[in-house]
Structure 1
């Protein structure tokens, strides 16, 4: 049960239909989760989905690092739907199961690679401290490059918006999915 019901395609306004078609025909392949909520406000949906497409498919971050960042945000917000949606993608991208389990349990993962360690530390600091200490910022820029760090901040912002939307409108995974973030 959610607080906002998905729109019936046959009753959408032309603006809603345009955004719906753009999302459905894009790499996401369908309108679900927060996109279904945003569709009630097509201007927001269009802007957010375009930003999301960039964050998901076009940043300088590898899929592995992007998914690590996304799940770090999901854990911070206890966003069950985001965890459910991205955990399989993260595993497929090469994030270790042990890393995800540590994040799920609010533990520090034992990273083998400096780029993974930097992404997790940066995202964790940004969310919990509301800023990134100078030494961590410099380390992350040294490991990823300035452009990738800029993309990382954008990705964290976008997936924070996603998590807030999911939590506010009580969008949860299918009922048969075992909750992992309680």
Structure 2
């Protein structure tokens, strides 16, 4: 971790900090890899963000491959080293084609064999590029996934942008990360 953040010591943690850490470790993630040791210096933010994150990662109604695609689009847009490092293998294991992931990482528009992948990519890309989503892209997403899932997709994109901003601001790396997917 970059020295922008002080070393966090559990021995001197507040009760609020300990509660957040326990909730994260006992939840679906089971580890502190990611922005959590940055957020821990604001326990209230950490608690709220980690709960939102658990929902966005595990309960949006999207299949894992599509959630991870949306996360990789975000990681690539923010050039978030740790976010990419953590989610790239999960996306591949969930069935995202390697060439799609590599296209995202290198800033090229991938060729999509799966129509659902293209809908997620188009939606996220339009939102990031234009700060809006066209009627055609919105309608395609709602027709395919339903309104609730589209609302959840917007939440997922916003949450992972927050994660990327946190990781980038504090120069955080993933556990065991030795290589950087993006040039600095």
With normalisation by structure 1, the TM-score equals: 0.95
Determine whether 1:45 maps to 2:43: no
Q: Distance in 2 between matches of 1:70 and 1:161?
A: 11
Matches within 5 A, 1:33-182: 33-173=34-174, 177-182=178-183
Count residues in correspondence.
182
Moved more, 165-174 or 70-79: 165-174
Q: Is the 8 A contact 1:51 1:158 kept in 2?
A: yes
Structure 2: gaps of 5 or more residues: none
Q: Is the 8 A contact 1:71 1:87 kept in 2?
A: yes
Q: Distance in 2 between matches of 1:175 and 1:47?
A: 26
User: How many Å apart are 1:30 and its aligned residue?
Assistant: 1.7
**Runs of 4+, deviation exceeding 3 Å:** 173-176
- CA-based RMSD: 1.3
User: How many Å apart are 1:5 and its aligned residue?
Assistant: 3.2
User: How many Å apart are 1:176 and its aligned residue?
Assistant: 5.6
User: How many Å apart are 1:149 and its aligned residue?
Assistant: 0.8
User: How many Å apart are 1:32 and its aligned residue?
Assistant: 3.1
